[in-house]
């Protein structure tokens, strides 16, 4: 019997303890019990959402509780925890009559109050919100938009289950209003990946499919923790290990869930667990370029690269090789925080692999040199031709179900639908397509909108979902900015703390529908570029909640009546037809209409057959220079991490995979010993911008580095540090640490 066919393979078992009792692991079966308890008032509706809807959690993408990769049931903890957001009834509007009583509540407590029940308005000097009707609310906002310079308003959409249809209609409405200042959560997730991939390969998305994980020789995770953020992916890794795939992890912290995991729906893994990672490579926070350049330097010196592929299908390799020869081992080791021998070990794994998939996430992108981090990964993949063929690929894995589509729909201040640049030619094309002038100037990114608000240069901010106070660095600065914007409009399904910031003039709340409530169904785009139809799910409704495409269409139609017929849609099918005309890669979306329908744009592999849609038809290597990461003696680099949460939505105080509570400061044991710190000792981290008070937790993290949870650690982050192209905030900081006296 082949290794692929074995039902049981003891070589991958994590523990002989049945079901991992006493081990650090998520209690998946308890999560089911919790979901039943939370949704007990609407269990039938909750079940229909799980059975018939496309998951609104991470971007792996499902058809109900199945997918297109393996024929097994998928039901992860993230989806179960998000379920209540879709089933809970509307809150009592009277609760918002005086928001003073809500100011001390956590975000979770605010969400638990229920769905936003109807449009509401609060003006300066008023203690809370007053209910109103849709016409009054829309006329108020549209009247202000009609009088506002297009350079002085901004729109932001998060990926909170937002489907392609809402993103597309929103960006079209904003451009009808004469602006490109619309941005979405992709900005602060994978925008550096978009820039890096587009320049190198001519594409701006993962080049492969999830199925390429299973049976590839090697998967390398770089700054990515799928055990926490994409739990269903652990099932893919279980099957990959059974098929003989090796797994390597490059990170500052040895994530326990990436070491071993109990997959609840696979009997063998559920009982004995699965040893996932074959080799960990521990590096500094921000040390990716030093490490990856060192790996490639070894490969070039030993001629462990695919010379034929490089010669026939790429350009720029000789310049890169020359640059690597000029980068000393001492320099690379200092930046990476590890030795050249460790770099050689990964180089040998890549050399021995005939196929490989390189996967990365926000540990790579959320740096002021995020674009270069991505380029270093692409260089490594191109050196072996790990692109455009079976069991190979470059995969920026997405953490949210709406992020991939949000950028591709053009809800992005720096590109038009389909990813085309905002320039005269692009603006002219869409002006002709849509029948109104599209501006050719670059809009404000999410962080720049807050800067403009703080500087008094933003008159209107429309935020659909999200919470700037918990997403962007320096929460105090964000709060000040929000409080200075004359008109703020918050479109959401439930309450958030940013809605409670006192108005400079007016704050308007508009209740939105969930994806499962939208008549005609909607679509999302998964990490593997699969456009998936999610049908409307019958069940209880919040009567006054509107689909966001309708809200944005009405605002634009009322502000620009002459364009009303161009921005209003009769339904989601009409939007999908418009998407197909605007974004050629999405042709086929207009045919999706029922449960299970999908189309994977570009097919299983982009750049298939090593055909690259770049101007010269070749893939491009990039010379990447290691960043200067020197820090003063006695300081640490701290990174912000996720725990038991989804995006900024914290679900539990303690992370079952790591044992870390929200105030934990993850620290290398040697660093703790040197400072005389024991587990649980209170400490204060101080950066140039703020202080974080927490408690020491000894952890397998690279010496000289720390991790704290996000969004709690946002107080340490310097809002001015951003990457040059994507304007990605750097979610890391240099800090001192001081023990507190008790």
Q: According to the model, what pLDDT value does residue 292 have?
A: 98
Residue 162 in contact with residue 185, Cβ under 8 Å? no
Q: What is the distance of C-alpha 555 from the center of its chain?
A: 28
Number of Cβ within a 10 Å radius of residue 33:
11
Distance CA 713, CA 641 (A): 9
Least confident stretch, 27-31, 207-211, 323-327, 513-517 = 27-31
- Span 357-381, pLDDT tens digits: 999 998 999 999 999 999 999 999 9
Residue 629 in contact with residue 662, Cβ under 8 Å? no
Sign for the pseudo-dihedral over CA of 122, 547, 462, 142 = negative
- Span 619-656, pLDDT tens digits: 999 999 999 877 888 999 999 988 777 677 777 777 88
Number of Cβ within a 10 Å radius of residue 653:
11
Residue in the block written with tokens 């620290």: 667
Tokens coding 311: 């010669």
In the predicted model, what is the mean pLDDT of residues 229-252?
Answer: 94
Residue 361 in contact with residue 397, Cβ under 8 Å? yes
- Span 106-137, pLDDT tens digits: 888 999 999 999 999 999 999 999 999 999 99
Q: How many helices (H) and strands (E) does the chain have?
A: 27, 27
User: What would you report as the CA-atom Rg of the chain, rounded to the nearest whole angstrom?
Assistant: 25
Residue 342 has pLDDT above 60, yes or no: yes
Highest mean pLDDT among 15-19, 187-191, 669-673: 669-673
Average pLDDT, the chain: 94
In the predicted model, what is the mean pLDDT of residues 572-582?
Answer: 98
For the entire predicted model, the pTM comes to 0.95
Backbone φ, ψ for residue 729 (5° rounding): -60, 145
Q: According to the model, what pLDDT value does residue 294 have?
A: 98
DSSP, res 687 = -
Distance CA 284, CA 292 (A): 12
3-state class (DSSP) for residue 289: helix
Q: State what percent of residues in the chain have pLDDT above 70.
A: 98
Residues 6+ apart with CB under 8 A from 628: none
DSSP, res 741 = P
DSSP notation for 94-156 = GGGG-GGGGTT--HHHHHTT-B--S-EEEETT-SS-EE--HHHHHHHHHHHHHHS-GGGEEEE
DSSP notation for 310-346 = HHHHEE-HHHHHHHHHTS-HHHHHHHHTS-HHHHHHH
In the predicted model, what is the mean pLDDT of residues 693-697?
Answer: 97
Distance CA 567, CA 629 (A): 48
Pairing of strands 260-261, 274-275: antiparallel
Q: According to the model, what pLDDT value does residue 585 have?
A: 96
End-to-end Cα distance, the chain? 62
- Span 591-607, pLDDT tens digits: 999 999 999 999 999 99
* Helix (H), strand (E) at residue 556: helix 548-559
- Span 69-83, pLDDT tens digits: 999 988 888 898 899
Edge-to-edge, what's the strand order for the sheet holding 393-396? 279-282, 246-251, 218-222, 356-360, 393-396
């Amino acid at each position: 019997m082949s290794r692929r066919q074995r039902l049981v393979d003891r070589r991958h078992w994590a523990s002989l303890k049945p079901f991992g009792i006493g081990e650090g692991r998520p209690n998946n079966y308890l999560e089911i019990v919790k979901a039943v308890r939370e949704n007990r008032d609407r269990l039938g509706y909750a079940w229909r959402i799980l059975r018939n809807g496309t998951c609104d959690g991470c971007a792996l993408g499902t058809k109900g509780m199945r997918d297109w990769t393996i024929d097994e049931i998928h039901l992860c903890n993230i989806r179960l925890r998000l379920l209540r957001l879709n089933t809970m009834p509307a809150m009592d509007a009277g609760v918002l009559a005086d928001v003073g009583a809500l100011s001390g509540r956590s975000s979770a407590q605010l969400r638990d109050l229920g769905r936003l029940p109807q449009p509401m308005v609060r003006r300066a000097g008023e203690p809370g919100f007053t209910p109103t009707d849709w016409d009054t609310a829309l006329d108020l906002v549209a009247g202000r938009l009609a009088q506002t310079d297009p350079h002085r308003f901004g729109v932001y959409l998060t990926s909170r289950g937002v489907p392609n249809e809402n993103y597309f209609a929103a960006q079209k409405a904003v451009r009808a209003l004469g602006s490109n200042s619309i941005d979405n959560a992709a900005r602060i997730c994978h925008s550096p990946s978009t820039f890096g991939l587009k320049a190198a390969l001519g594409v701006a998305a993962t080049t492969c499919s999830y199925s390429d994980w299973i049976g590839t020789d090697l998967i390398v995770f770089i700054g990515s923790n799928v055990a926490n953020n994409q739990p269903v992916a652990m099932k893919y890794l279980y099957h990959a290990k059974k098929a003989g795939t090796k797994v390597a992890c490059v990170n500052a912290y040895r994530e326990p869930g990436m070491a071993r995991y109990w997959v609840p729906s696979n009997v063998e893994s559920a009982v004995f667990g699965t040893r996932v990672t074959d080799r960990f490579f521990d590096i500094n926070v921000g040390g990716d370029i030093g490490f990856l350049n060192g790996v490639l330097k070894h490969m070039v010196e030993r001629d462990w690269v695919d010379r034929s592929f490089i010669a026939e299908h790429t350009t720029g390799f000789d310049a890169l090789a020359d640059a690597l020869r000029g980068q000393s081992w001492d320099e690379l080791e200092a930046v990476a925080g590890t030795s050249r021998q460790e770099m050689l070990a990964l180089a040998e794994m890549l050399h021995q692999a005939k196929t490989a998939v390189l996967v990365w996430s926000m540990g790579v992108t959320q740096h002021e040199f995020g674009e270069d981090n991505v380029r270093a990964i692409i260089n490594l993949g191109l050196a072996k031709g790990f692109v455009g063929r079976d069991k190979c690929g470059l995969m920026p894995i997405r953490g949210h179900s709406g992020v991939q589509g949000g950028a591709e729909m053009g809800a992005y201040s720096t590109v038009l639908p389909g990813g085309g640049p905002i320039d005269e030619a692009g603006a002219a094309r869409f002006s002709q397509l849509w029948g109104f002038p599209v501006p050719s100037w670059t809009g404000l990114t999410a962080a720049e909108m807050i800067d403009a608000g703080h500087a008094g240069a933003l008159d209107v901010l429309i935020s659909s979902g999200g919470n700037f106070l918990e997403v962007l660095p320096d929460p105090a600065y964000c709060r000040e900015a929000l409080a200075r914007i004359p008109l703020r409009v918050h479109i959401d399904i439930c309450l958030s703390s940013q809605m409670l910031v006192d108005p400079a003039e007016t704050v308007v709340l508009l209740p939105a529908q969930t994806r499962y409530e939208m008549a005609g169904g909607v679509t999302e785009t998964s990490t593997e570029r699969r456009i998936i139809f999610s049908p409307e799910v019958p069940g209880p409704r919040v009567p006054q909640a509107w689909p966001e495409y309708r809200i944005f269409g009405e605002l634009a139609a009322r502000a620009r009546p002459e364009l009303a017929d161009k921005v209003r849609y009769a339904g989601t099918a009409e939007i999908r037809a418009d998407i197909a005309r605007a974004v050629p890669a999405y042709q086929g979306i207009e045919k999706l209409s029922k449960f299970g329908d999908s189309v994977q744009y570009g097919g299983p592999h982009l750049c298939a057959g090593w055909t690259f849609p770049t101007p010269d038809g070749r893939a491009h290597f990039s010379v990447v220079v290691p960043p200067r990461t020197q820090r003063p003696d006695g300081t640490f680099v701290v990174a912000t991490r996720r725990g038991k949460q989804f995006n900024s939505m914290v679900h539990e105080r303690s992370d079952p995979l790591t044992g870390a509570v929200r105030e934990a400061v993850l620290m290398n044991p040697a660093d703790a010993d040197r400072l005389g710190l024991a587990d649980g000792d209170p400490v204060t981290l101080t950066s140039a911008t703020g202080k974080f008070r927490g408690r020491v937790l000894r952890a397998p993290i690279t010496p000289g580095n720390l991790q704290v949870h996000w969004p709690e650690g946002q107080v340490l982050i310097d809002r001015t540090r951003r990457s040059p192209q994507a304007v990605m905030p750097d979610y890391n900081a240099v800090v001192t640490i001081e023990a507190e006296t008790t």
